[in-house]
Amino acid sequence: MQNFNSTDVAVLVLELIPAAAFGFAGERIARVAERWPRMLRILLPSLCALPYAWISYSHHIFSWPAAALYAVVPIAIAWLLGQAASADPEQRGTWQDALVLLSLGLAVDLRWLEGLWPPGLAGIGKLLLVDAGLYGFFVMRQLRGMGFDFRLRRNDFWNDWKTGLRELAFFAPVVIAFGLALGFLHPHAHALRPSMLLTWLYIFVFIAVPEELFFRAWTQNLLENRFRFWLKSKNKESKDNELKNNDSKDKDSKGKESEDNARLDRHARILSLVITSLLFGLSHFNKRSTHFNWRYVILATIAGIFYGRAWRQNRRVPASAITHASVDAIWSFWF
């Protein structure tokens, strides 16, 4: 980052603290916060304005409207997700969820807020949005199945690496073949060196984890719930119509119902995976290009399939982030 001074480092650390707290104790924090007054829970994320105020003041670009924006937007996210939690305890997905995700996604992808930050430090602003989203989905929405869990438990640790590297092994030949054929990848040789590990860690923390949180823990997760509910509702309507024309129930109805549910769950997982991957691919339309980068969109969409597979294996962000960070690192080092 450019113009990176001690204040910038302090603000970066300050913003990483909430993300780390939710990563290591998210459910516990949500249980504790549940005992707080509702108004306090809604207003608390307005503290997201403080990192902006601190860093912008130190760079002499402080703006009251911008500070107000960074106070109001996290409050709006908390309120909307609180409303979603009340209206949708089954977590099938609501318009409030969609509005929050759309707003966060467009703000980052279209760089709406980058001009409010010092040159080279817009990434710190994106972390603020990550913190606001984490607070909203953990504390207010209490969304289940996110898998944003970085506790160093032995079984989870090895399973995450096994799953992440397995999807990397499946994806690498595909992306290299497509990338070379499309003229997107350009091989270049670099010898292995210790600094590559630091590069991988940087990509993992600041690129892979936030993107996997948004696209897999939130988007794919909610879409899967929505499709499961929709498919089962349609299936129930069909079964009810059949029963009207059949006085006796099939003796094997329970077994068939179990098979139907398993089939519909599988279809919901496939649909959510495909649509999330398409959204992930489209989010790269303006990366490394001033025009619509269709090559990047195609490759990122394919990548999203494998990242999504890694996440849904055990519903864990660390697994898909390992695949994601490894792909980006390999691309940086050798393509």
pLDDT digits (tens, 9 = 90+) for 6-62: 999 999 999 999 999 999 999 999 999 999 999 999 999 999 999 999 999 999 999
CA distance 240 to 299: 43
Give residue 61's pLDDT. 96
The 10s digit of each residue's pLDDT in 152-203 is 999 999 999 999 999 999 999 999 999 999 999 999 878 888 899 999 999 9
Contacts of 54 (CB under 8 A, 6+ apart): 7, 10, 11, 14
Nearest to 209 by CA among 98, 85, 320, 94: 320
Give residue 236's pLDDT. 79
Categorize the per-residue pLDDT at 249 as very low, low, confident or very high, splitting at 50, 70 and 90: low
Tokens 């924006």 correspond to: 69
CA distance 219 to 158: 25
Share of the chain above pLDDT 70, in %: 95
Give residue 9's pLDDT. 95
Left, alpha or beta for 119 (phi > 0: left; psi -120 to 50: alpha)?
Answer: beta
Q: List the end-to-end C-alpha distance of the chain, in Å, as a whole number.
A: 23
CB 174, CB 302: distance < 8 Å: yes
Categorize the per-residue pLDDT at 252 as very low, low, confident or very high, splitting at 50, 70 and 90: low
Categorize the per-residue pLDDT at 288 as very low, low, confident or very high, splitting at 50, 70 and 90: confident
CB 280, CB 138: distance < 8 Å: no
CA distance 325 to 335: 14
What integer best gives the mean pLDDT of the chain? 93
CB 312, CB 269: distance < 8 Å: yes
Give residue 191's pLDDT. 83
Contacts of 159 (CB under 8 A, 6+ apart): 314, 316, 319
Chain centre distance of CA 240: 38
- Can you give the C-alpha Rg of the chain in angstroms? 22
Query: Long-range contacts of range 28-35, CB-CB < 8 Å, 24 or more positions apart?
Result: 29/138, 29/139, 30/138, 30/139, 30/142, 33/139, 34/139, 34/142
Q: What is the pTM of this model?
A: 0.93
**DSSP notation for 92-118:** ---HHHHHHHHHHHHHHHTTTTGGGS-
The 10s digit of each residue's pLDDT in 221-236 is 999 999 999 998 888 7
Let me know if 229 is exposed, middle or buried by CB neighbors in 10 A (0-12, 13-18, 19+): middle
